[in-house]
Amino acid sequence: MKLKLNAERFTGEEYVNLYDKYRPNPPVEIIHQTLNYLNKPKADLVIDLGCGTGISTEIWSDYAEEVKGIEPSQEMITIAKNKERKKSNINYLSGFAHKIPLPSKSADVISCSQSFHWMEPISTLNEINRTLKENGVFLVYDVIWSPSVNFEYENSYFKLFERAKEKTKELNETISMHWSKKEHLVNIKKSQYFKFSKETFYHKTERLSKEQFIGIALSQGGLEALLKRGYTKDEIGITKFEKEINSFEIPFFEEITYNYVAIFSIK
């Protein structure tokens, strides 16, 4: 299975820095709910699988004695490791989710933030079951793209990614391995490792910035994969997208909302 293709999407100094700058921090309420399911005010060990540049890892610092971020992309893990000195209880490791480099029954919480769809579910859930303590919590959460602003902004976003899909088909090659987010809960329940699983929703609203909205789009791996294969911004539709967004008026309520789907599972 070509899981290395997934890590290769998230490489390149310019891209990983853009990703780190524009991807949103998750709502803290997701963390609170995880700990409520754990029935503890603070976890002993949290493992953040597919941690990227550490955005989803750092939020755990105040809610765990120890946090381990695991990421296969060497360039992303380098940015994450540069943040280690800011949070003494966080450590980053290179690795894949189907081979977690940590002892069995060691984690109170294992989280996947916008990453579980890049992982082969059967082998990954087997490793999660091995590594998670009894009564531990497995958390999966994803942003529903695009962020909510208004029709003009979001329609422009969707048109960009429809064009990106067309260009990806032209390649006639496998550029990534991913699994449907719609099947996450089904796969988790099918594993029979968990006595309780629930899907629910969260949101986080911030002040709208056109730069942020554009940056969110450019942080998506599908666009970067095309750029890495020689397509220009004009050919992909990025140039047109940027011009459109910058031409739009700011909505009356200057807000951008990130909507999340979260799944909590208790072992």
The number of helices, as runs of H, and strands, as runs of E, in the chain is 12, 7
pLDDT tens digits, one per residue of 158-206: 999 999 999 998 988 776 788 999 999 999 999 999 999 999 999 999 9
Cα–Cα dist 107/43, whole Å: 8
Q: Residue 238: inside a domain, yes or no?
A: no
Rounded Cα gap, residues 121 and 71, in angstroms: 16
CATH code of the domain in which 47 resides? 3.40.50.150
244/231 Cα distance (integer angstroms):
20
The CA-atom distances, in angstroms, between 76 and each of 13, 19, 81, 110, 197 are 9, 9, 9, 19, 30
Number of separate domains in the chain: 1
Q: Is residue 249 part of a domain?
A: no
**Model-level pTM?**
0.94
pLDDT band at 10 (very low <50, low <70, confident <90, very high): confident
Tell me the DSSP string of 89-115.
TEEEEE--GGG-SS-TT-EEEEEEES-
pLDDT in tens, 43-84: 999 999 999 999 999 999 999 999 999 999 999 999 999 887
In a domain, 221, yes or no: no
Supply the range of the domain harboring residue 123.
4-147+178-207+258-266
Flag whether 120 is in a domain.
Answer: yes
**Percentage helix, strand, coil, to 5, in the chain?**
45, 25, 30
Cα–Cα distance list, 174 to 63, 122, 205, 217, 226 (Å) = 39, 21, 36, 22, 12
> Per the domain annotation, does 222 fall within a domain?
no
Return the structure tokens found at 28: 């803290």
- The 8-class DSSP code of residue 233 comes to H
Give the separation between CA 196 and CA 135, rounded to whole angstroms.
10
The answer as to whether 262 is a domain residue is yes
Task: With respect to residue 248, please indicate whether it lies within any of the assigned structural domains.
Answer: no
Residue 159 maps to a domain:
no
